[in-house]
A and B are shown apart, each in its own frame.
Chain A
């Protein structure tokens, strides 16, 4: 193996809970993508997940849907996003994931898409509507040839047997959806959810886990991190940047407050 994937490197050395923040590309304004990424890093984020906007994001709630549409309305596309990210690694050192739906990737061409990701310095992909069986059959070899980790989701309804299988094909981390819901539908962590977190923690999976959906502040972030390596924030962040008047300052402040550094 030549160079360790940035995600693996992060998890192997992290001592504090890992914060992964999702942001929609080209939001709130078309040219804001790199500004948002830079501010996230400045605030101390550990992983950045960039959402590639899609017209029909079925796993997402209202906040992320609207940010996707607003970005598309300003002309965002996969090709434009790659252009905006061409110098990514001149400033951004944290691991970066692209999150999106499978259709725009198919239209770009899976091979070409992965090659472009590798050239830019993307570390992994989250494609919620790409099922595991399809991934193993048609995509795994291409992703791996370009050093891209495919991040799988598990939910409270996923059976132990399937979790074991997902663990065996995963690299980097497993994305643990905190409840049966779309993004941004619920906030806070209930005791039922904590029981679920503990159940998964006791399975001793080979991959670390990040918990997402319903994480919006320092308290829910810390609660989730008790039974996982960290957590993911999406809708709460997208809501913030949609209303921000001083984008950079408010992002830095948000990240620091989530991590309890303020």
Chain B
């Protein structure tokens, strides 16, 4: 499982980095970005990753 954040859709609600600080950080604008864009989501964080997808108001966070 890999997490994706679409920077075009992101408006900086900040749910992803609030819920998943292990994988997502916030830039100076409060927009979420992946700490390691190549990394897979570790199994123990998969549930939290799904929550981050469900929480994003702009539907900018997806998993593949």
Q: Do A and B bind each other?
A: no
Query: What is A's interface to B at a CB cutoff of 8 Å?
Result: none
